[in-house]
Structure 1
Amino acid sequence: MPTCLEFIAKLRLNQIPGHIVGLELPSKTTFSFPSNELNRLAERAEAVGLTSQIYYAPGIQAVAPGPRQRGGSASVCGIPGFWWDGDILGPGHKQTALPTEKQIKGFIISLPMKPSAVVWTGGGVHCYWLFEKPWVFSDEADRQKAAAMLAGWQRRIIELGSRHGWKFDFTGDLARVLRLPGTWNLKIPGQPRPVTVEYWSDENALQH
């Protein structure tokens, strides 16, 4: 399965001119790198090891955010595809109306379109549906169209989950940060859990 650098390279974020944003917890330190320097994000993740949790934003920012800022959806200039973040039942989550690991695997298989990638986060999953090529927004109308499509995509998945009695959070904003594969989930003290790519396919691509 892809390493941290291989994963972000497969997203082809370097094809979206701008800046990739990261977040380090628990310090809440934010950082950004030019999108054509993805190796710097991987190096940052490797450097912190088991001392911090690293998140990144698949939505690329048009300009580098200021100190302690991540940028917002209004300044995202492109995305590699759609994503969804689903929690599973267990430690670290107050919500109890969630699927088990076995149930969420079955749920992903049952979705109308198979994901391009599935990442296990230590407390849930991230699913990605990548475009044939990254969507670089040409104007504000393009950005609003992408925001509406991503939101609709997520609401459809949330609605499908509700049929099983599950309550998934909405994570469909363009500036959303997600856990980075190759790092660690340290949400439960003394129980580090790896963030890993469990599935990848180059065949499931969306048009935009």
Structure 2
Amino acid sequence: MIAKFTRKDFLEALFAQYYKEHRGFILVKSVKRGDPKMSTRYFPNIEILAKEHYGEERDVYFGICPRERMKAEKEHIHYLVALWADLDIGAEGHEDKRIFYEGPQQAAKAIRSFPRAPSIIVESGRGAHLYWLLKQVLEVTDIEKIEKVLRTISEHLQCDTDVNLDTVLRLPETVNTKVPGKPVNCDVKFINPNFRYTIQDFENLGQRIVAPPQPKPAPKPPQQVSASSFAEESPIEHRLSGSMAGASLEDSLVLDETIIDELIDDISMAATGVAESPEPPGEEEEYEAEVDSDIISAEPESEIVTTVISRKPAAHPLSTTTTSSILEKLSSSRTDVEIFLVGSDMVINGILLWNENGLIGVESGNDHYTIPLSSISFIRSKA
């Protein structure tokens, strides 16, 4: 079974590039529901914030843009690491909003139709936070231009939330207490740090980036993937997306519709039990508490079974249950498989360990890979 994406995975995806070159702070605000006082703290690195524990009574938010000083105002934001959007789902907790998505299916449809696939999806409790990672950490020279792009994204997705450079969103692995007596968890649902963009990709949102049809290439001997291929990647990149190396740009920017459906459908729409925990230490500063924020077929070929992952529905597609069942049989028997990647002649040899949420886990020697089904052309195994 796939391990959940952790807060540290999330923070590394957002801030690892920034901290390679800069020494700033991640702003975090937390508040008890109904308490007018909000605690504001500044974390100098990913590791400390990744370990920080917050109790179930607190709503916790972080600044997506790092600060160069321990100050919250926009003038202390010099760099941009990602773009973002905040989708509200369901009426509960959003009664004062003019616009929200009636249910997960509507939200999934909106995300699928958006021209740029998100790099990160976070379940915020009663909604979804989407992040689009930038190829390079961007120096902020024109705040108005960046905020215009953020508004363009929000309007395209019909988000009823004000967006500014100093926006804060919920921190994963904390609790949303917005509806009294019905706390729900905020968790990371998806990360792929290969999905990266420039800010210009969002200035004129047009058609969704998709891979154009390609002529069938002449057969080539498979190229083996070795651990050294990923020696320069960060741990999160190695673990989550090493399998996408060698794919074309278009392929790497396509998030399979099935994955989105499964991710969004899983968003909590009701109360979730959460464990009690002590409040974090730290001085309280007074603020106004206004923050709310494949289809698979198997055919024998001699002693080889080829599992085909299709991007488009077939005339009589197998159900998601059948898809999972086939992969479950392969993983339960720890079957040796060859995995061929879309848009590449590379192949990964290993043992299929698990499948969940449109992802599979493969052990190859000393390396472990988490591979999106959308990046796989087919899987071959011994019958």
Q: Same fold (TM over 0.5)?
A: yes
Check conservation: 2:13, 2:193, Cα contact below 8 A: no
Check conservation: 2:10, 2:191, Cα contact below 8 A: no
CA drift of 1:64 comes to 1.1
Distance 2:156 2:165 in 1: 22
Distance 2:90 2:153 in 1: 17
Check conservation: 2:5, 2:189, Cα contact below 8 A: no
* Structure exhibiting the larger radius of gyration computed from Cα positions: 2
Instruction: Say which of 174, 183, 189 aligns to 1:198.
Output: 189
Distance 1:160 1:10 in 2: 24
Instruction: Say which of 45, 65, 69 aligns to 1:63.
Output: 69
The SS at the match of 2:196 is: coil
Distance 2:173 2:146 in 1: 25
Instruction: Say which of 18, 33, 47 aligns to 1:39.
Output: 47
Distance 2:134 2:62 in 1: 19
Alignment-derived partner of residue 98 in structure 1:
100
Alignment-derived partner of residue 39 in structure 2:
29
Distance 1:133 1:177 in 2: 21
Check conservation: 1:18, 1:77, Cα contact below 8 A: no
Distance 1:132 1:157 in 2: 18
**Over residues 94-131 of structure 1, what are the superposed CA-to-partner deviations in whole Å (9 max), with x where a residue is unaligned?**
22531122211110111011111111101211111101
Paired residues in the alignment total 187
Alignment-derived partner of residue 268 in structure 2:
none
The SS at the match of 2:27 is: strand
1:156 to 2:152 alignment? yes
1:168 to 2:160 alignment? yes
Distance 2:64 2:155 in 1: 24
The SS at the match of 1:60 is: coil
Distance 1:134 1:187 in 2: 33
- The alpha-carbon distance between structure 1 residues 38 and 203, as it changes in their structure 2 partners (threshold 3 A), is closer
CA drift of 1:10 comes to 1.6
Aligned partner letter, 2:131: Y
The SS at the match of 1:190 is: coil
Distance 2:10 2:56 in 1: 19
Distance 1:21 1:158 in 2: 23
Distance 2:133 2:152 in 1: 17
Instruction: Say which of 50, 55, 63 aligns to 1:49.
Output: 55
Distance 2:145 2:115 in 1: 16
Aligned partner letter, 1:59: C
Alignment-derived partner of residue 68 in structure 1:
none
Distance 1:207 1:154 in 2: 13
The SS at the match of 1:148 is: helix
Check conservation: 1:9, 1:38, Cα contact below 8 A: yes
- TM-score, length of structure 1 as denominator length: 0.81
**Over residues 154-189 of structure 1, what are the superposed CA-to-partner deviations in whole Å (9 max), with x where a residue is unaligned?**
322333345xxxx62222x12111101111111112
Distance 2:50 2:116 in 1: 29
Q: What is the CA RMSD across the aligned residues, in angstroms?
A: 1.9
Distance 2:5 2:154 in 1: 28
1:182 to 2:173 alignment? yes
Gaps of 5+ in 2: 200-383
Distance 1:81 1:148 in 2: 16
CA drift of 1:89 comes to 2.5
Alignment-derived partner of residue 122 in structure 1:
125
Alignment-derived partner of residue 2 in structure 1:
5
Distance 1:20 1:98 in 2: 29
The SS at the match of 1:113 is: coil
Alignment-derived partner of residue 107 in structure 1:
110
Alignment-derived partner of residue 319 in structure 2:
none
Aligned partner letter, 1:168: D
Distance 2:176 2:19 in 1: 26
Check conservation: 1:161, 1:168, Cα contact below 8 A: no
Deviant stretches of 4+, over 3 Å: none
